[in-house]
Structure 1
Amino acid sequence: MRRKRKDMLANGRRTAPAFLSLLVCAFLLAGCWNAREVNDLAIITATGVDLTEDGQIELSVKIYLTSPSGSGSMSGQPDGNKGTSVVRSVTGINMADAASRLQKKISRKVFWGQADVFLFGERMARAGLEAPMDFLMRHIASRERAHVFVCDGPAKNVLLLSPSIERSVADALVHMAEQQTGLNITMMDLAQMLISKSKAAVLPIVVIREEQGEKQSFPYIQGVSVIKNGKMIGRVNEDVTRGIMWLRNEIKQATVTVSPEQSDGYVSLHLHRSQTRLIPKIEGGRWIMTVRITGQDDIVENTSDLDLSVPDHIGKVEKELEKVVNTRVKMALGQAQKEFKADIFQFADNFYRKYPKIWEANADRWDEIFPEVEVRLETDLRIARPGLIGKNFFRQEQR
């Protein structure tokens, strides 16, 4: 009996510290002393940054209204989408000053954690993105995976749009970017390009379009802005944009229509898989970049007189497809090397990784070297699935 009592006392001494530790942890986990209700927050979904004529920063934000009562406590410009959000704008000497002034004018705590879109007006982009990017990357609540665009005009005008299909303009732009039919650049991507060896970057351009027969306008991604040393120096059209995407290995979805030689009509192909490899080489003082493009495509429409069940006819389509891709790539190279002299393809980083000592010795001359880099294209595009039929039998029936 005494031995049993001693064992119980010994077990009690061992379990007491563990019990006290669990009790302390329970007290620490149970508290929500610093929690904020959603209805107490001004949730920003999209942000626009413009440069005023007197050189100040105009910060515009689209704030999602979490409750009907919130719409009465904040004045702003309704976006027309059932009054679910408002657009507020303030000006300041820099981003931090503008953000501070924004908080003073809003009764709720500004919350940046849901900002999926950042728009820079063209004037702001041409003046320089490094200062606003420092604030956005340094801010603890900003999202590094947020999408970044340059606007064809003031960014504020885009925030005021109300797309009919999506809940907000932020959702519309995010969905268009994630479809990856054009460039999809995030905050982190832009920061990495700005600090890369080439100091060059690209950003998709947002334009405002009006539907024919409708009064409503909507945002549309068209073309690319070229950034060098933090400033926008030019823009390219959609055909050149495709070439840039091939060179940057960012083609994920694409439909290409070709007209093969010695045939009547067109063949449309949908990209199934693609990869672009950059292979740098320095030989006898010459800087050479081999661009190796491979891919597989599916034929989705054939209005030509070719029988796509015949291997020779398939070869004609593949040859024409490679010609179209090479043409777009050469257009992109021509503008980047000769017109802008901006290494938007990150050639510099590839040369640095393979030849670090040679690169360091020539880093100050890269603006002179890049326009003279010899680019060798090796394109190999194959048709994976020609479809269930070879000929266009509707065309045959008409004859």
Structure 2
Amino acid sequence: MKRSLRACLLLSAWLLSGCWDRTEINDLAFITGSAFDLADNGEYLLSLQIAVPSSSSGGSGGGSPQQKFFVLSATGKNANEAFERLQKKSSRKLFTAHRSVIFVGKALGRQGINGVLDVFAHDPRQRLRTYIMVVKGGEARKVLQSKYPFDQVPMEAVKEMEGQQSEVAANLRDFFMSASSLGIDPIMGAIAVEPEDKDPGKTGLFKLAGSAVFKETKMVGLLDGDETDGLNWATNHMKNGRINAELPQEQGNVGILVTHAEREITADIQGDRIRFTLLLQGKGMLFENNTKLDITRPNNIALVERALEATAEKQVQDVLRKVQKQFDADPVGFGLFLHQNKPKQWKTLQKQWGRSFAAAEIKVVVKLTIGGAGMAGPPLQWNKKEIRE
């Protein structure tokens, strides 16, 4: 009797433990990218790029193939309200786990993105490793509407671009950590859409376009590509960076691919006077030589290294001056360095750090080592008599 009862209970448990509440994949709409803009009435304009499953791409015979994605947009007083309105436009349940990137329009960035970030901070369905970027010029949803020749779903191309880390690549986790930390202001990458040559009214290809600097959750300024390269080194995020330098006396220029870079900050505080020294050390391979110098010679290598160091120092110094004086922001984390290494001085400076940082002296020192000349040794287009050894 007991055995029969146990068998019945086990059978009942097995029958009741099925996936009765599961969601079939055919009932999901996979979101690949989101864009937040500021609508004319002051509400949020949320746009979603949704992938079209290959099985529903349809179209056989000689007809043109159906687009692999489409874009839905809706407004709302907050991000949740806009999302719910978009759900009413979709026959499938909107699914965010496959989203690659989130775009923020420039106008909304200037106003502040605290309302946008709040959704991702509290909703467990959101992935904190999703990239977040500011869109330069126009609406952020224009990026979602643009096509890309290498990828059927354009957001995959943006994901790959960010993964290369050629410029600033910040995800939600990075932004949250910087925004909530003492002595450092958050940054995120920027992207722009180029108009088509034949029809300026249509959207063309998108491209990485520098970075955006925030103070708390409000954008305070934009940096171009060259400035972003300098900021990447200053923030210790340089990866395969390139530096080019002119040598007027040699009537040419040289270029180096930095494969290894390090950053070191030191500080000297005397009363109200704050002095920082930013030491940047790098090693790389010379990939371009448009001078008549034979780079295989030690004296010529030293000459090129000095020229590259001077160029890098100016590049980093210029961007630091811009964020320090114009943006009144500290994306490098000089304040964070004081907080971690000089807590007593930081306790005094913390409340007025914005003003103190703006008045601080920052010295940039760059030390570069050319590890090899590769194919950029003696210029092949010059004969031996013209090459300077």
**How is 1:301-316 mapped onto 2 (pairs within 5 angstroms)?**
301-316=288-303
Q: Distance in 2 between matches of 1:107 and 1:198?
A: 47
1:56 to 24, 28, 43: 43
Number of the residue aligned with 2:224: 237
- Equivalent residue for 1:43, pick from 27, 30, 33: 30
2:117 aligned residue: 133
The yes-or-no answer on 1:251 pairing with 2:235 is no
Q: What residue in structure 1 maps to residue 91 of structure 2? A: 107
Pair 1:163–1:29, CA change in 2 (3 A): farther
The Cα RMSD (Å) is 2.7
Q: Is the 8 A contact 2:57 2:67 kept in 1?
A: no
Q: Deviations over 1:316-365 (max 9, x none)?
A: 11101111110111111111111111111111111111122332333211
Find the aligned partners of 1:48 and 1:55 in 2 and give their Cα distance.
Answer: 16
Letter in 2 for 1:178: G
Q: Check the 8 A contact 2:289/2:376 in 1, yes or no.
A: no
2:106 is aligned to: 122
SS in structure 2 at match of 1:297: strand
Aligned position for 1:201 = 186
Deviation at 1:101, TM superposition (A): 1.6
1:159 Cα offset (Å): 0.6
Higher alpha-carbon Rg: 1
Counterpart of 1:200 in structure 2: which amino acid?
Answer: D
Whichever structure has more helix as a proportion of its residues is 1
1:76 corresponds in structure 2 to none
Q: Match for 1:368: what amino acid?
A: R
CA distance in 1, matches of 2:157, 2:188: 17
- What is the 5 A alignment of 1:179-328? 179-198=164-183, 200-210=185-195, 212=197, 217-260=204-247, 262-328=249-315
SS of corresponding position for 1:341: coil
Distance 1:41 1:139, change over 3 A: same
1:395 is paired with a residue whose SS is coil
Paired position in structure 2 for 1:86: 70
Match for 1:334: what amino acid? R
Query: Which whole-Å deviations, capped at 9, do the CAs of 1:340-398 have from their partners, x for residues lacking one?
Result: 11111111111111122332333211111011122122321100111257311322279
Greater CA deviation, 44-53 or 352-361? 352-361
Aligned mates of 1:216, 1:190 — CA distance in 2: 29
Amino acid at match of 1:176: M
Q: Does 1:346 align with 2:330?
A: no
Q: Is the 8 A contact 1:261 1:320 kept in 2?
A: no
> What is the identity, as a one-letter code, of the residue corresponding to 2:190?
I
> Which consecutive residues of structure 1, in runs of 5 or more, have no partner in the other structure?
1-15, 73-79
- Residue 31 of structure 1 and its aligned partner are, at CA, apart by 3.4
Letter in 2 for 1:384: G
Alignment partners' CA distance in 2, 1:28 and 1:279:
67
**Does the residue aligned with 1:394 lie in a helix, a strand or coil?**
coil
- Shift of residue 250, structure 1, vs aligned partner: 1.2
Partner of 1:160: 145
Task: Name the residue aligned to 2:132.
Answer: 148
> What is the CA-CA distance between 1:212 and the residue it aligns to?
4.8
Deviation at 1:299, TM superposition (A): 1.1
Q: Is the 8 A contact 2:245 2:255 kept in 1?
A: yes
Query: Matched residue pairs, number?
Result: 372
Structure 2 vs 1, CA of residues 102 and 211 (structure 1 numbering), >3 Å: closer, same or farther?
A: closer
Amino acid at match of 1:183: V
Letter of the structure 2 residue corresponding to residue 197 of structure 1: L
Alignment check: 8 A CA contact 2:184 2:334 kept: no
CA 1:56–1:211 in structure 2 vs 1: closer, same or farther (change >3 Å)? closer
1:283 Cα shift?
3.3
Structure 1 residue 95 corresponds to structure 2 residue 82: no
SS of match in other structure, 1:90: strand
The amino acid across from 2:169 in the alignment is N
CA distance in 2: counterparts of 1:54 and 1:208, whole angstroms = 25
* Residues 169, 219 of structure 1: 8 Å contact kept: no
Question: Identity percentage over the alignment?
Answer: 28
Structure 1 CA distance for aligned equivalents of residues 269 and 16 of structure 2:
60
